[in-house]
Amino acid sequence: MEDLKKIQDLASAQSLKPVVIGGYAVRAYTRTRIRYTKDIDLALPRREESTKLRGILARLGYSITEKPYGLSGYRKVRGVAIVVNTIIDDVWAEEKEIKSFYPVGISIKANVSSIEDLLILKSRVWRERDIIDLCLLLLESFNSINVERLKQRLRSKDFYQGFQNSLKRLLNLIGKKKFHLVWEDFMGRKIEKGEEEELWKKLNELNKLVKSICND
Amino acid sequence: MWIPENKYGFLISMRKDKRRQYILSDFKLLAQGIKASKSMGELSIPEKLKKAYNEYDKKYLITGGSAAFIYHTYQFPLKEEIEIFPKDYGFWSFFNDIEIYPILKEREFREKVVIDGLFVARPEKIILEGLRQGSITSILDSVSILVSEKGLEFLEWEKLKKYAREYGVIKELGAILEIIDNELKHEYGRSFIPQNFINALFADIKEKGRLRQYPKNILVEDKTYSAIGDRWRLKLYLPAYVVKKPVEDIAPLTLKVI
């Protein structure tokens, strides 16, 4: 969290706005603690900007490695490894507060992915961790979803069909034992009946919205 | 059920894994637990644990996801978990912010690892328990320890093999090590997994019986490593990111390639 703040501060001084995606972004929209990994995931809109970010990370003591999708930075603070992974992707952002779980009580304001872009990113990657993140975003931040913005984002990313398929796949998982077990694995508790019903409702609602967007 | 010699005290009941367990604790221990937990109210959990040992002689072993995090500092734990001796349960039962398992054994406490003054379960135990549990997060903990600097600093390969037999996870350990080895070589051109160790595990595999599905709880069937799984007599659907992510995020620092 301290490093994320330093990166954001140095970046904004250079008019650079890396967008927080991944687990830290999900935390900005949810209260529930799940088993996140500690790596910091950032998105930059253009490859040229990664040169600037590379400089910022180097200034903070990171060793940088180029990756096919962007770059990764590594450094150690008091023997503890910190990893920053960046991707090149056009992600809309807003300023949000991210609270630390470990240790509890620290929070920072950061340039975080919009919930619509986060939903799209999570449904694209579609790993167990992302599926649980999707559920949490729907359960705890459904009212923050802006339908018009979602429509624009799905159009610009040409992901109507993919997004709809992900929602259908998730709807098919609701009530299944394997979904309950994976939920319990990441959350450390069983999913409650009311919670699952709520998730079902919100998924159906979102599915209808996306269908209507598709037919527009 | 643990019963003190004088056979009187408070009968404490607890539910663990659908089973109810009863522990009889004497009054003195309970009073000590109330006093200690009140006096330590504001302290952090590591400070509480150190104080419980230094001032009250209460032994513990950090275990599960919290122990894994001490080794790999990668995947956050959901709660702090410790194992304690059943006879001490009365004392610890008032520490509400810690998940307490009254199952600690002398051998495990004797073999503990001390990190920053805290008593931590050995990495072999955490790795193997993670593999035996066979969930995404527990396997990620195991892989992350296996590629972390601190995990490898304390890991004893012979103990890992010996305990893998006791835990009944030779196949799972062998397959995971072979996958880590391949990924490390593919990514960095070298590996720190001893090839003769993988070979020794492979010699233990019996070529009969049905292939066991591993991991058990997944939502997406990933066949990236199915050929390695076949060799180890496993129907392996291990999601590739469970190995690739720690190899990309943790191993560069361990291998000192950056």
- B129: in domain: no
Q: How is residue A84 written in tokens?
A: 């920053």
Taking the C-alpha atoms of residue B131 and residue A199, their distance in angstroms, rounded to an integer, is 31
Mean pLDDT (chain B, rounded):
91
Segment B6-10 shows an average pLDDT of: 67
Mutate to test the interface with A, among B15, B44, B72, B76 (most CBs of A within 10 A): B76
Q: Check CB contact under 8 Å for A37 and B216.
A: no
| Neighboring chain A residues of B241 at a CB cutoff of 8 Å | 127
Residue B17 has what pLDDT?
63
Is this complex scored with an ipTM above 0.90?
A: yes
Mutate to test the interface with A, among B43, B79, B137 (most CBs of A within 10 A): B137
| Number of compact structural domains in chain A | 2
Do A23 and A35 lie in one domain? The reply is yes
When comparing pLDDT for B69 and A81, which is higher? B69
Residue B94 has what pLDDT?
87
Residue A69 has what pLDDT?
86
* CATH of residue A13: 3.30.460.40
| Residue A189 DSSP one-character state | S
- B87: in domain: yes
Of A64, A88, A113, the position where a domain reaches its end is: A113
Q: How confident is the model at residue A215 (pLDDT cuts 50, 70, 90)?
A: confident
Residue-range definition of the domain harbouring residue B155: 135-258
Residue A102 has what pLDDT?
67
- B148: in domain: yes
DSSP H/E element including A152 = helix A147-156
DSSP string for residues in A103-133 = TEEEEEEEEEE-HHHHHHHHHHH--HHHHHH
What is the per-residue pLDDT across B165-219, written as a single tens digit (0 to 9) for each?
999 999 999 999 999 999 999 999 999 999 999 999 999 987 777 888 999 889 9
| Residue A58 DSSP one-character state | H
Residue B33 has what pLDDT?
87
Do A102 and A25 lie in one domain? The reply is yes
Do A101 and A143 lie in one domain? The reply is no
Do A9 and A109 lie in one domain? The reply is yes
Q: Check CB contact under 8 Å for A186 and B136.
A: yes
Do B92 and B180 lie in one domain? The reply is no
Do B101 and B172 lie in one domain? The reply is no
Of A113, A135, A154, the position where a domain reaches its end is: A113
Do B76 and B146 lie in one domain? The reply is no
Least CB–CB distance from B135: residue in A38, A85, A185: A185
**Torsion on CA atoms B41, B44, B46, B48, rounded to nearest 10:** -10
Do B175 and B230 lie in one domain? The reply is yes
Of A96, A113, A130, the position where a domain reaches its end is: A113
| Number of compact structural domains in chain B | 2
Taking the C-alpha atoms of residue B163 and residue A210, their distance in angstroms, rounded to an integer, is 52
Least CB–CB distance from B137: residue in A33, A179, A186: A186
Of B121, B151, B172, the position where a domain reaches its end is: B121
Residue A100 has what pLDDT?
80
Of B121, B143, B171, the position where a domain reaches its end is: B121
What is the per-residue pLDDT across B42-65, written as a single tens digit (0 to 9) for each?
899 999 999 999 999 999 999 999
Least confident of A64-68, B3-7, B62-66: B3-7
Least CB–CB distance from A127: residue in B149, B220, B253: B220
Do B71 and B154 lie in one domain? The reply is no
Do B111 and B141 lie in one domain? The reply is no
User: CB under 8 Å to B63, separation ≥6 — which residues?
Assistant: B81, B82, B83, B101, B121, B125, B126, B129
Closest CA to B130 of B74, B58, B191: B74
Taking the C-alpha atoms of residue B68 and residue B128, their distance in angstroms, rounded to an integer, is 11
- For chains A and B, count residue pairs whose Cβ atoms are closer than 8 Å: 82
Do B104 and B214 lie in one domain? The reply is no
Residue-range definition of the domain harbouring residue A156: 117-215
Residue B16 has what pLDDT?
65
What type of residue sits at position B143? V
Do A62 and A140 lie in one domain? The reply is no
| Residue B227 DSSP one-character state | H
Question: In the 3-class helix/strand/coil scheme, how is B56-122 assigned residue by residue?
Answer: HCCCEEECHHHHHHHHHCCECCCCEEEEECHHHHHHHCCCCCEEEECCCCHHHHHCCEEECCEEECC
Q: How is residue B64 written in tokens?
A: 């599960």
- B126: in domain: no
- B181: in domain: yes
Å between A157 CA and nearest CA of chain B: 24
- B127: in domain: no
Do B101 and B171 lie in one domain? The reply is no
Single pTM value for the model: 0.93
Å between B44 CA and nearest CA of chain A: 9
Percent of chain A with pLDDT strictly greater than 70? 98
List residues in chain B touching A: CB distance below 8 A.
44, 65, 73-79, 135-138, 140, 149-150, 216-220, 239, 241, 245, 248-250, 252-253, 258
Least CB–CB distance from B78: residue in A33, A37, A128: A33
| Neighboring chain A residues of B66 at a CB cutoff of 8 Å | none
Tell me how far apart the terminal alpha carbons of chain A are, to the nearest angstrom.
42
- B75: in domain: yes
Of B74, B91, B121, the position where a domain reaches its end is: B121
When comparing pLDDT for B9 and B110, which is higher? B110
Do B26 and B98 lie in one domain? The reply is yes
- B128: in domain: no
CB B139 within 8 A of CB B178: no
Least CB–CB distance from B258: residue in A65, A80, A181: A65
Tell me how far apart the terminal alpha carbons of chain B are, to the nearest angstrom.
52
Taking the C-alpha atoms of residue A132 and residue B112, their distance in angstroms, rounded to an integer, is 35
Do B183 and B208 lie in one domain? The reply is yes
Residue B8 has what pLDDT?
66
Do B117 and B69 lie in one domain? The reply is yes
Least CB–CB distance from A173: residue in B76, B79, B219: B219
**Would you say residue A78 has pLDDT above 90?**
no
Do B247 and B168 lie in one domain? The reply is yes
Mutate to test the interface with B, among A42, A185, A187, A191 (most CBs of B within 10 A): A185
Q: Check CB contact under 8 Å for A185 and B217.
A: yes
